[in-house]
Structure 1
């Protein structure tokens, strides 16, 4: 491990030097690549240097304590610092191991997210809209851009189906664990008996596919136009700006009507189609959190839940890692890091465990 870290540090120092050369500064693309690589290596190199510093301090403290002529009063203080440094060294070593885990090639990509009402009728649609609001607010907190692609809303203000993109740094790395069945337990506003209802919403998260990653033969597409429906401005219902794209080999259908022109709707629909097809193509990349869309969302059955939002008990529970949090509204208002950070840590711990088993 430490030979690998030494190589990483040398690479890091080389990048730092190359970023200062006139050649790199004159080439915007090359300078951008160097900057990205340097930024990516910074946490690992920082952790490695902290580890070496702690190791040196521990060696000096142990040598001091071995000296029989050491000042007894000073010895107690050194002994305490030694215990703290040993604990910090162990924590830093675990941090380094996590940072050395292979990166998911999709982590820095933007995403296409799909939210669909599952079991529960109107109540499920209302909660689907709440989840869309939660992800929109989370995106705003992190400085990301959330853009609707296709939103099929209900008369009560719910969301039967919503497709939208989120763009920004590291979007997929943080939201990829949201795929699955989300269950809500609460008393609907229309419930006169005060009974708690259980409804579900399915969420799929797909890394955005670039055209170069997945070429689609135009002959495999059927593109239809129709008039958009719903609220949205004067262009709604007056022009055939909405687009329906059918991928003939599989029958997959994507609709987009939320953009203002037929061209924009076509581009967004093809963007979603490419991401769905790439999702299926990359199904094997992560078995723990299967990236294939159908496997992600399941059927919407209540028993397939990954997370429960229980309003009467004011709690959110993620069943994959047995995490329970209070202050449900805080999570729904976009403070999703409370859930995502533990999920990322649990994923890293599982990968570390698998790696250790492979090496023993």
Structure 2
């Protein structure tokens, strides 16, 4: 283990021990706010301290085994024990790295999921509908809910774009690697000669930002009010309920016409504007971190084709982790967990390598 990393872990262990004594102090216990804060910090540091204690004990046992190498009668036993201890020490060191790897502060947030048709005309719009259903089925499997759905249909029964709010436990942690360009290769239903077409759709996964995440100066916001363009009958044509909000310093804009109430649409538009701004911050941080890696799984920028769905070959390929699997119908029915797990593991490994270096 690198000396600087060991020094950091030793400091954490000392702090954990100090906190353990502090939360037993009657004076601290009587101060509820302070007690809760210190208890929370103690709980966060305890896994690292316990693993480091295990690591130190394994090192002690290894030193004892090395001493036995001097005894000819015990050498064979000591060599076998040393091999096992070396493996255990390596595993414990890896676990310490994992525990120290910074967690994404947005992982527990709900998300705003947006899918837009790219190249491919009507077929791209049908692919958008397929992806939306795929994520919807995956959300059902996880016990999540999707609401605040807005969409713009195309003439072929697909969508030019569709968006919604996904709520549940660890939604962003699961879906954040889906952002980017998805590519489909298949024969469209309207293709009479059986030719394979390639179409694309862009997926955006934005953590739902709260006011504490992104603070907006009202003076920087410009609101426009217009008639809704969605379904809704006569009410839509007679009420300026749709709202478009623009953040003047950045030019980011969001339009919302989901609700009949202009006030509600204004609130939702500002909420989504915050989420877009938080997403931009995350993408900048991702790009900076990726630039410092020798090897990277991808920056997550939307210009990347992250995955290909090949229908004739019944194949899904995720280009970031060079992972290929079959059973495309099952995948499109929401059975995507194994690919998401591979992406999470790759990202965690990259973060750990960055920490170790």
Same-fold call, TM cutoff 0.5? yes
Tell me what 1:296 maps to: 301
Q: Tell me which residue corresponds to 1:6.
A: 10
CA distance in 2, matches of 1:149, 1:36: 37
Q: CA deviation at 1:9?
A: 3.5
Maintained 8 Å contact 2:314/2:326: yes
1: distance between equivalents of 2:43 and 2:331?
30
More displaced, 110-119 or 8-17? 8-17
More displaced 10-residue stretch of structure 1: 281-290 or 332-341: 281-290
Partner of 2:231: 230
Residues 219 and 106 of structure 1: CA distance in aligned 2, closer, same or farther (over 3 Å): closer
Q: How far, CA to CA, are the matches of 2:30 and 2:189 in structure 1?
A: 60
C-alpha distance in structure 1 between counterparts of 2:18 and 2:336, whole Å: 37
Gaps of 5+ in 1: 299-303
> What are the within-5 Å matches in structure 2 for residues 134-173 of structure 1?
134-173=134-173
Structure 2 equivalent of residue 221 of structure 1: 222
Q: What is the root-mean-square deviation in Å for CA atoms of aligned residues?
A: 3.9
**Alignment partners' CA distance in 1, 2:114 and 2:86:** 47
| CA shift digits 1:38-74 (9 cap, x unpaired) | 66546544543553454455455555665444598xx
How many pairs are equivalent? Answer: 342
Residues 261 and 52 from structure 1, CA distance in 2 versus in 1: closer, same or farther, beyond 3 angstroms? farther
Structure 1 residues 154, 93: closer, same or farther in 2, change over 3 A?
same
Q: Report what 2:92 is aligned to.
A: 92
Gap regions ≥5 residues in structure 2: 292-299
Question: Which of 49, 52, 55 is residue 48 of structure 1 equivalent to?
Answer: 52
Structure-1 separation of matches of 2:120 and 2:223: 33
Instruction: Tell me: CA distance 1:11–1:356, structure 2 relative to 1, closer, same or farther (3 Å).
Output: closer
Instruction: Find the aligned partners of 1:15 and 1:329 in 2 and give their Cα distance.
Output: 53
Equivalent position SS for 2:192: coil
* Structure-2-length-normalised TM-score: 0.76
**Higher mean C-alpha deviation, range 91-100 or range 118-127:** 91-100
Check whether the contact 1:120–1:199 (CA below 8 A) recurs between aligned residues: yes
Q: 1:19 to 1:249 in 2, by over 3 A?
A: same
Q: Does the 8 A contact of 1:149 with 1:268 survive in 2?
A: no
TM-score (normalised: structure 1): 0.76
Matched residue, 1:197: 197
Cα separation, 2, equivalents of 1:63 and 1:221: 75
Q: Which residue of 1 aligns with 2:180?
A: 180
Quote the Cα distance in structure 2 between the aligned partners of 1:34 and 1:128. Answer: 48
